[in-house]
Amino acid sequence: MKVFFDTCVYAAEALLGAGAERMLEATEHAAWRISASTYLLDELERVLTEKLGFPSRLARLSRQRVAQRAFLLNPPPSRHAVADDPADSPILQAALAAGADYLVTNDAHLLALHPYEGLRIVSLSDYYQLLRAEGLLS
């Protein structure tokens, strides 16, 4: 299984810790491939510092943590776009370039695309339920 987590998942891990962290750890434990893009890493740092007011040190540590657990890619430009919010297009493009089975996000513009060319776009709560159904979370 291949999974691409949107920026909001990693921001939730930094903010809330336990819940999002358990999902990421369960994904790793299942040996499912986690992918991320350089765009996502840049966006994560920006969101944590500029939007949420976290210190840049925490943002850098969060970035490093994602980079350590994920296969990093820098997808080429593609025709895939999120018409309702073009800023979400790089996330969609990276998930497709990674060959992900799941794009996990709470972004309404991305969720509205489900399914997208074989990519299952699911919310954090739906992904949590999937992990439970697979016996990876109790």
pLDDT tens for 38-97 read 999 999 999 999 999 999 999 999 999 999 999 999 998 899 999 999 999 999 999 999
- What token pair was written down for 73? 């890619």
User: Which of the four CATH numbers 3.10.580.10, 3.40.50.970, 3.40.50.1010, 3.40.50.2300 does domain 2-133 have?
Assistant: 3.40.50.1010
Tell me, what's the pLDDT at 80? 93
| Domain range list for the chain | 2-133
pTM: 0.93
For the chain, helix, strand, coil in percent to 5 are: 55, 15, 30
Q: Which residues contact 93 (CB under 8 A, 6 or more apart)?
A: 75, 77, 78, 80
Distances 5 to 55, 89, 112 between C-alpha atoms, Å: 23, 14, 16
Percent residues over pLDDT 70 in the chain = 99
Residue type, 137: L
